[in-house]
């Protein structure tokens, strides 16, 4: 009975397993009862059994022939799923109990089962002729693209072409595109939507620890005693990580939850302490909390002594200088800036610093600000200064928004300033290393950083960039201040590869390529906690669609760079990539396709094939790359092993409210829809979920004569958009909120493209607007 | 007819009934879970009832719910309350059975030995029929109802060791599975396994019997597969019969969006709110943990006093 090994049958006789079997000799009273009553039932049931499934056993409502391990198509939580196939179609999707999500999914995860079969899938290539997109053959489309790209490269140099990618491409795809453009064509004009989403966190981690990506993992949630959730509506945007946080509170009700957000989100509703600050004032809040750490003696002296240095801009400073800067941020002063009480700040600081283990979560609320990098660095500083780091449950953890922004874009360095595995374009040594690893002549990689997202579209508008390939994203809806970028699309030759048409972006494309999506192609995704996991290829692409990988390789061949990809398959690219990673502190050489296909993901670093993966980086005993095993922590990403504490002042808003634009606008999401709704809006079950609303405080509604349900126009210095009024006191007075989901109600006509000076990430979370009844 | 000796026959019948009843009563009393047996059950499954004191946020359920009706406790308001629940069907039936048998015996004794000659034969026969057939039928019913009722208890489910990981989890105050949370927060005051595992209505009863029979067959033939898993789609009605009427449920947009799929069981409530029980990985992990604990206890016991002394000395040095 080897099957029953998992069951401990000897519990009542722990020390004498032999006697345990006594219980099974003969029939116990209950067994007797069971036999007696079941024999009767047996006569009845037995006569009905004869092969009729339902009569013998409960049947699944959906017939499934086979189940396959995979990953959700949507958010950065990256839930493990089981994909049910029948007759070559995806018919069912359920959570994978063996994955970190314990079998749970949110509604989007469940509806993965529908997304391949919704309307408006792009089915064949299209070329714009006389202003209209017309059906074309792949050969014709690819030939046109190759000739336009070659022409521009020849006439205006390699920097006249660009790639705009996505955190939704597989790692192999982003890596190949990055290699083609940087090592083949010779331009660093490779950027993508992660710039709009993760750039501040990436710059934050890199500048503080020397290397990107969080050091903690989801498992830390199970050990934290205090959660500091700032600028994140986890309950709606990362629902399954949120469930895990809730689980922690359920099993340990003393767990304390602090939420910082200008809106009383569904996350904030569960907070033990809710700091409803004014948007864009969190730098003052964090400074003030650090001030409190010092005042209360919550600062970890060992950390300061051995593991930290202080920095202002690019100059190092002393701890005293840092402390004297904090004097400006007493809770009283910060309170007046943030619009909350000093007592709340003191309480938050005390809870944060004093709990046995504090874990922070943040996302777009922090990243999408002109002080995004500053905010990221300060949250990390709070953990470093209080020593809330490197223990189970103590970690600063940034959540990603897309299914593959971390592994696909940040780790492969598919950004304008970056090279793979944390290397920088601007660093000659890094360039040389990559040229050697990629086996291309020295000097191939351009020393000039390329255009970051916003500047890329500006360059397309001005004509500096003539051709662009956009893959798996919808920038003409997701970029801030989109109106001028529509012109950019008109001015440049733009190829858009997407699984759907029309989208706001394909509308303006010169060539539309139909792309395979999700289970129509296989590849590696990564999620917030450095977990690499695998999506299997299970079905044929719709229509003539091809995978983005095939498109990139085809383009490489036509541009004469086919030799960059000597082996043509995605599996070969993965082999190449994992081996390259071994030459860096991002070492995941041990993560093979084979392993990924057999388990729900592995967290890197993972240097060899027997390594189980790493939960906590920089921690001796856990991280295989740590050199000093006796230390408390080893920040090996930094040359001196010391993490940096940055000094940042609360800045002024980039645009002021005035009589004409008296209110502030902030943007966000709802649980049921995702990004620009390209996929989710087309799923039948989600069609009735509204995303066209503008949340308005009752006092503002009264001031502007708005009733619930009224059409309302929001206008900024850049543009205006119409929404439907939703009156709620969950929002601060003077602030309005809209989602960026709806293509019909484009909030990004209103938002501003002002960017963070370090990360170049735009500020979607705060701009001055006016509202009026439409 | 004259040769027929009714007294002898009656005596035999009475003997039969009395011994039968005695047997039934013993059965009934034995099935009753005495405090002793509950205690030993709790030790086996490491129930730490004290740790249940801190409960999750108050339940938002209100009004009579199916769980209450199932447990014959309609009068009770929120199911979170653990107040007196009055008598259960099982108890009523047990008492009905006891009263019936006592009444039957008394009637038989009276008509046979005291009133035999004083009542007319018609009445005699009727009383005979009542005490020999009608009342024993009530006893029979009472016994089966009691058996059915007691097998609803968690103890009854936990008596089968295949259920150990699930029952242990139910009693684990720190567990966050749906089952454990419903248990420790007393959202379902009793018959926790039964309440969520028998679909409601007659069809459910049939399913319950069928599954019981199948499980029994698998068990006695040793042909079940570990880790055990729920076969087919879980009927959401088991959840919605309590939850669907609540504000908390109706406010959630995802519930509205998925309403037809939820009704058809194409999406399970546990897809988002699970896991209902520890996942296979967690079951193995907890068993491993127990084994480690057991091994260390047994290892400790094997160390004799001398060995211990030498160990202590070694440590001192
Ligand atoms: S939480 Fe994110 S990854 Fe998980 S199921 Fe929902 S959308 Fe998919």
Atom of ligand 1 nearest to the CA of A104: 5
* B81 at A interface, C-beta within 8 A: no
Compute the average pLDDT of residues B143-166: 80
**A45 vs B176: CB contact, 8 Å cut-off?**
no
Burial of A191 (0-12, 13-18, 19+ CB in 10 A): buried
Calculate mean pLDDT across residues A272-287: 95
pLDDT band at A55 (very low <50, low <70, confident <90, very high): confident
Instruction: State the distance from the centre of ligand 1 to the C-alpha of A79, rounded, in angstroms.
Output: 5
Q: What is the DSSP string of A118-157?
A: SS-B--S-EEEETTEEEE--HHHHHHHHHHHHHHHHHHH-
Q: Token digits for A418?
A: 């970056």
Confidence tier at A57 by pLDDT (50, 70, 90)? confident
| E strand spans, A499-549 | 511-514, 523-526, 531-535
Architecture in CATH of A199-398: 3-Layer(aba) Sandwich (3.40)
Nearest by CB to B272, from A30, A105, A686: name it: A105
User: Rounded CA gap, B59 and B56, in Å?
Assistant: 8
Lowest mean pLDDT among A381-390, B188-197, B245-254: B188-197
pLDDT value of position A7: 40
Q: How far is A192 from chain B (nearest CA, A)?
A: 31
B83 vs A100: which has the higher pLDDT: A100
Q: Tokens for A221?
A: 């949630």
* A128 or B150: which leads in pLDDT: A128
Please, which residues have CB within 8 angstroms of residue B156's CB and are 6 or more apart in sequence? A30, B150
Of residues B69 and A291, which shows the higher confidence score? Answer: A291
- Residue A40 reports pLDDT greater than 80: no
pLDDT tier at B304 (50, 70, 90 boundaries)? low
Rounded CA gap, A507 and A499, in Å? Answer: 14
Lowest mean pLDDT among A59-63, A370-374, A529-533, B105-109: B105-109
pLDDT of B8 > 60? The answer is yes
For ligand 1, say whether the CB of A99 is within 6 Å of any of its atoms: no
What is the pLDDT, as a whole number, of residue A686?
A: 93
- Mean pLDDT across chain A: 91
- Residue B251 touches partner A, C-beta closer than 8 Å: no
Average pLDDT rounded to a whole number, residues B262-286: 90
Distance CA A560, CA A538 (A): 32
Among all residues of chain B, which has the CA nearest to that of A10?
B161
Q: How far is the CA of A552 from the centre of ligand 1 (A)?
A: 28
Confidence of residue B27 (pLDDT cuts 50, 70, 90): low
How far are the Cα atoms of A205, A289, A444, A626, B112 from residue A308, in angstroms, in the given order? 14, 18, 37, 17, 100
For ligand 1, say whether the CB of A109 is within 6 Å of any of its atoms: yes
CA distance A390 to B97: 66
Mean pLDDT rounded to a whole number for chain B: 73
Positive or negative: CA dihedral A240, A244, A245, A246: positive
Mean local confidence (pLDDT), A81-105: 95
Residue pointed to by tokens 């039928």: B137
Lowest model confidence (mean pLDDT) among A268-277, A538-547, B116-125, B291-300: B291-300
Q: What is the pLDDT of residue B92?
A: 74
Q: Considering Cα of A567, then A573, then A576, then A579, what sign does the dihedral take? A: negative
Q: What tens digit of pLDDT does each residue of A438-447 get?
A: 999 999 999 9
Identify the pLDDT of residue A18. 38
Name the band, by pLDDT with cuts 50, 70 and 90, for residue B308.
low
The nearest CA of chain B is from the CA of A9 a distance in Å of 6
pLDDT digits (tens, 9 = 90+) for A384-437: 999 999 999 999 999 999 999 999 999 999 999 999 999 999 999 999 999 999
Contacts of A155 (CB under 8 A, 6+ apart): none
β-bridge partners, A93: A83
Q: What are the φ and ψ backbone dihedral angles of A535, each rounded to 5 degrees?
A: -105, 125
Beta bridge partners of A423: A419
Q: Are A693 and A721 in contact (CB under 8 A)?
A: no
CA A614 to chain centre: 20
**Complete DSSP assignment for A284-320:** HHHHHHHHHHHHHT-S-HHHHHHTEEEEETTEEE-HH
pLDDT of residue A58 exceeding 90: no
- CB-CB contact of A473 with A458 (8 Å): no
Of residues B112 and A187, more confidence is placed in A187
Question: Quick one: CATH architecture of A23-117?
Answer: Single Sheet (2.20)
Segment B232-252 shows an average pLDDT of 89
Fold match between domain A199-398 and domain A663-773: no
Angle at A535 between CA A534 and CA A539, to 5 degrees: 150
Cβ neighbours of residue B304 closer than 8 Å, sequence gap 6 or more:
none
Query: In angstroms, what is the span from residue A237 Cα to ligand 1's centroid?
Result: 8
At CA A603, angle to CA A598 and CA A605, rounded to 5? Answer: 120
Catalytically active residues of A, by annotation: 108, 197-198, 364, 401-402
Nearest CB to A6; choose among B173, B284, B294 = B284
> CB A8 to CB B287 under 8 A?
yes
Distance of residue A168 Cα from the nearest chain B Cα, in angstroms = 23
From the CB of A75, is ligand 1 less than 6 Å away? yes
A11 contacts B164? CB cut-off 8 A: yes
Which neighbouring-strand residues pair with A711? A724
Inter-residue contact A244 to A215 (CB < 8 Å): no
Interface of B with A in 102-161 (CB under 8 A): 147, 151, 156, 159, 161
What element of type H or E holds A495? strand A493-498
Average pLDDT of the segment spanning A329-351: 96
- The tally of CA atoms less than 13 A away on the side-chain side of residue B241 is 19
B65 pLDDT exceeds 70? no
Nearest chain A CA: its distance from B94 CA (Å):
17
ipTM: 0.86
Our separate counts of H helices and E strands in chain A read 26, 29
User: Is the confidence at residue B300, as pLDDT, over 60?
Assistant: no
Under an 8 A CB cutoff, do B209 and A45 touch?
Answer: yes
Percent of chain B with pLDDT over 90: 14
Distance A215 CA to ligand 1 centre (A): 22
Q: How far is A680 from A114, CA to CA, in rounded Å? A: 10
Confidence at residue B139, expressed as pLDDT on a 0 to 100 scale: 81
DSSP state of B113: I
A158-172, A295-309, B186-200: lowest mean pLDDT where? Answer: B186-200
pLDDT at A349 over 80: yes
Cβ-defined contact of B266 to A102 (cutoff 8 Å): no
Contact A671 B287 (CB under 8 A): no
B58/A contact by beta carbon, under 8 A: no
Instruction: Tell whether ligand 1 has an atom less than 6 A from the beta carbon of residue A210.
Output: no
pLDDT at A384: 96
Write out the two tokens for A766. 């705060």
Which chain A residues contact residue B211 at CB under 8 A?
A: 57-58
Q: What share of chain A is helix, strand, coil (3-state, %, to 5)?
A: 35, 20, 45
Instruction: Give the per-residue pLDDT at A10.
Output: 40
Q: State pLDDT tens for residues A618-641.
A: 999 999 999 888 899 999 999 999
CATH no. for A126-196+405-603: 3.40.50.740
Lowest mean pLDDT among A232-241, B112-121, B219-228: B112-121
Indicate which residue's Cα is closest to atom 4 of ligand 1.
A79
Q: Is B227 on the interface with A (CB under 8 A)?
A: yes
Quote the pLDDT of residue B116: 77
Distance A109 CA to ligand 1 centre (A): 5
* Distance in angstroms (rounded) separating the CA atoms of residues A26 and B180: 33
Contact A110 B54 (CB under 8 A): no
B56/A contact by beta carbon, under 8 A = yes
Residue B127: predicted pLDDT = 84
- Contact assignment for A35 to B216 by CB distance below 8 Å: yes
Q: Looking at the partner chain, which of B181, B214, B271 has a beta carbon nearest the beta carbon of A105?
A: B271
- Tell me the average pLDDT across A233-250: 95
Domain ranges in chain A are 23-117, 126-196+405-603, 199-398, 663-773
pLDDT band of residue A187 (cuts 50, 70, 90) is: very high
Determine the atom of ligand 1 nearest the C-alpha atom of A241: 1
Segment among A180-194, A361-375, A479-493, B117-131 with least mean pLDDT = B117-131
May I ask the CATH class of domain A663-773?
mainly beta
Q: A–B: how many Cβ contacts below 8 A?
A: 150
For position A6, what pLDDT does the model report? 39
Q: Which of A302, A309, A285 is nearest to A360 (CA)?
A: A285
Q: Do B176 and A95 touch (CB under 8 A)?
A: no
Sequence-distant (≥ 6) Cβ neighbours of residue B312 within 8 angstroms? none
Q: Contact at 8 Å (CB) between A623 and A617?
A: yes
pLDDT at B84 over 50: no
Given a cut of 60, is residue A20 above it in pLDDT?
A: no
Q: Which backbone phi and psi does A307 adopt, to 5 degrees?
A: -125, 0
Q: Using CB atoms, which residue from B266, B272, B280 is nearest to A106? A: B272
Residue in A32, A74, A685 to test binding to B, most B beta-carbons within 10 Å: A685
CA atoms of A415 and A408, how far apart (whole Å): 11
Q: Which residues of B touch A14 (CB under 8 A)?
A: 294, 297-298
Is the pLDDT score of B33 beyond 60?
A: no
Q: Within A506-638, where are the H helices?
A: 548-558, 570-581, 593-598
| Stretch among A143-157, A706-720, B115-129 having the lowest mean pLDDT | B115-129
Check pLDDT > 80 for residue B60.
Answer: no
Task: Find the closest chain A residue to B27 by CA distance.
Answer: A29
Among A75, A103, A168, A235, say which to mutate for ligand 1: greatest number of ligand atoms within 8 Å of CB: A75
Q: What is the length of chain A?
A: 774
Q: pLDDT at position A52, please?
A: 62
């Amino acid at each position: 009975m080897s099957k029953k090994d998992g069951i401990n049958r000897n519990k009542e006789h722990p020390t004498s397993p032999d006697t345990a079997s006594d219980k099974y000799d003969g029939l116990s009273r209950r067994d007797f009862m069971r036999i007696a009553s079941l024999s009767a039932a047996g006569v009845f049931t037995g006569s009905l059994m004869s092969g009729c499934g339902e009569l013998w056993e409960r049947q699944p409502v959906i017939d499934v022939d086979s189940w396959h391990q995979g990953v959700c198509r949507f958010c950065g939580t990256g839930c493990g799923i089981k994909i049910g196939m029948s007759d070559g179609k995806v018919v069912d999707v359920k959570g994978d109990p063996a994955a970190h999500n314990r079998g749970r999914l949110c509604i989007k995860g469940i509806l993965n089962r529908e997304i391949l079969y919704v309307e408006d899938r792009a089915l064949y290539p299209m070329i714009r002729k006389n202003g209209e997109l017309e059906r074309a053959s792949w050969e014709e489309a690819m030939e046109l693209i190759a000739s336009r790209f070659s022409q521009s490269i020849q006439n205006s140099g390699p920097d006249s072409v660009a790639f705009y990618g996505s955190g939704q491409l597989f790692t192999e795809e982003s890596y190949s595109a990055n290699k083609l453009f940087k090592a083949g064509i010779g331009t660093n004009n490779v950027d993508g939507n992660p710039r709009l989403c993760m750039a501040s966190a990436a710059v934050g981690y890199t500048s503080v620890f020397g290397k990107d990506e969080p050091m903690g993992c989801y498992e830390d949630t199970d050990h934290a005693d205090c959660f500091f959730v700032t600028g994140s509506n986890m309950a709606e945007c990362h629902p399954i990580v949120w469930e895990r946080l809730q689980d922690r509170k359920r099993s340990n009700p003393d767990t304390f939850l602090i939420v910082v957000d200008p809106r009383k989100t569904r996350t904030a509703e569960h907070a033990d302490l809710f700091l409803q600050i004014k948007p864009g004032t969190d730098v003052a809040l964090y400074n003030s909390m650090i001030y409190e750490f010092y005042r209360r003696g919550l600062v970890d002296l060992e950390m300061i002594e051995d593991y930290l240095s202080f920095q202002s801009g690019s100059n190092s400073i002393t701890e005293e200088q840092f402390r004297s800067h904090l004097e400006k941020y007493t809770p009283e002063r910060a309170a007046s800036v943030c619009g909350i009480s000093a007592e709340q700040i003191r309480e938050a600081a005390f809870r944060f610093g004093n709990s046995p283990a504090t874990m922070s979560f943040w996302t777009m609320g922090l990243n999408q600000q002109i002080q995004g990098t500053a905010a990221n660095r300060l949250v990390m500083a709070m953990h470093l200064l209080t020593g809330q780091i490197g223990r189970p449950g103590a970690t600063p953890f940034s959540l990603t928004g897309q299914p593959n922004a971390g592994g696909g874009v940040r780790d492969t360095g598919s950004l304008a300033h970056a090279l793979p595995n944390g290397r920088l374009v601007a660093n000659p040594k890094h360039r040389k290393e990559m040229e050697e690893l990629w086996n291309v002549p020295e000097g191939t990689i351009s020393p000039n950083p390329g255009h970051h997202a916003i500047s890329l579209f500006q360059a397309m508008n001005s004509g500096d960039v003539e051709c662009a390939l956009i893959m798996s994203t919808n920038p003409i809806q997701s970029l801030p201040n989109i109106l001028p970028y529509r012109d950019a699309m008109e001015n440049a030759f733009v190829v858009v590869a997407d699984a759907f048409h029309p989208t706001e972006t394909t509308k303006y494309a010169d060539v539309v390529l139909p792309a395979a999506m999700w289970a129509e192609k296989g590849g590696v995704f990564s999620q917030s906690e450095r977990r690499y996991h695998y999506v299997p290829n299970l079905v044929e692409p719709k229509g003539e669609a091809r995978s983005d990988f095939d498109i990139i390789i085809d383009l490489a061949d036509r541009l004469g760079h086919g030799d960059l990809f000597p082996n043509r398959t995605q599996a070969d690219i993965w082999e190449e990539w994992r081996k390259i990673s071994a030459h860096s502190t991002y070492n995941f050489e041990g993560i093979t396709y084979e392993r990924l296909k057999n388990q729900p993901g592995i967290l890197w670093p993972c240097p060899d094939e027997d390594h189980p993966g790493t939960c906590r980086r920089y921690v001796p005993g856990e991280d295989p790359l740590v050199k000093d095993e006796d230390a408390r922590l080893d920040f090996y990403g930094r040359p001196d092993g010391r993490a940096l504490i940055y000094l940042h002042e609360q800045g002024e808003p980039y645009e002021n409210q005035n009589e004409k634009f008296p209110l502030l606008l902030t943007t966000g999401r709802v649980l049921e829809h995702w990004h620009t709704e390209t996929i989710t809006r087309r799923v039948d079950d989600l069609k009735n979920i509204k995303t066209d609303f503008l949340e308005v405080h009752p006092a503002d509604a009264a001031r502007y004569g708005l009733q619930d349900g009224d059409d309302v126009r929001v206008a900024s210095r850049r543009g205006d958009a119409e929404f439907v009024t939703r009156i709620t006191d969950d929002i601060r007075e003077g602030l309005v909120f809209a989602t960026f989901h709806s293509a019909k109600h484009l909030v990004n006509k209103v938002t501003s493209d002002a960017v963070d000076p370090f990360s170049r990430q735009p500020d979607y979370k705060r701009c001055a607007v006016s509202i009026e009844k439409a | 007819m004259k040769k027929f000796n009714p007294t002898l026959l009656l005596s035999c019948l009475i003997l039969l009934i009395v011994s039968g009843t005695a047997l039934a009563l013993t059965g009934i009393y034995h099935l009753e879970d005495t405090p002793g047996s509950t205690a030993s059950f709790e030790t086996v499954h490491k129930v730490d009832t004290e740790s249940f004191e801190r409960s999750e946020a108050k339940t938002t359920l209100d009004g009579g719910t199916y769980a209450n009706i199932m447990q014959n406790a309609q009068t009770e308001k929120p199911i979170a309350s653990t107040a007196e629940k009055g008598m259960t069907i099982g108890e009523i039936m047990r008492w009905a059975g006891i009263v019936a048998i006592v009444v039957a015996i008394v009637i038989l004794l009276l008509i046979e030995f005291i009133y035999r000659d004083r009542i007319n034969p018609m009445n005699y026969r009727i009383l005979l029929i009542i005490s020999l057939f009608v009342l024993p039928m009530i006893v029979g019913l009472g016994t089966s109802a009691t058996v059915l009722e007691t097998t609803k208890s968690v103890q009854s489910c936990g008596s089968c060791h295949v259920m150990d990981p699930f029952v242990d989890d139910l009693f684990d105050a720190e567990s966050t599975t749906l089952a454990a949370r419903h248990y420790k927060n007393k959202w379902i005051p009793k018959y926790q396994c039964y309440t969520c595992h028998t679909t409601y209505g007659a069809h459910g009863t049939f399913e319950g019997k069928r599954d019981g029979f199948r499980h029994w067959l698998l068990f006695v033939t040793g042909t079940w597969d570990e880790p055990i898993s729920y076969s087919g789609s879980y009927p959401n009605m088991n959840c919605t019969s309590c939850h669907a009427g609540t504000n908390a449920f109706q406010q959630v947009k995802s519930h509205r969006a998925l309403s037809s799929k939820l009704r058809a069981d194409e999406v399970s409530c546990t897809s988002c709110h699970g896991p209902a029980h520890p996942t296979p990985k967690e079951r193995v992990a907890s068993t491993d943990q127990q084994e480690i604990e057991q091994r260390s206890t047994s290892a400790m016991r094997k160390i004799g006093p001398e060995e211990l002394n030498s160990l202590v000395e070694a440590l001192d040095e």
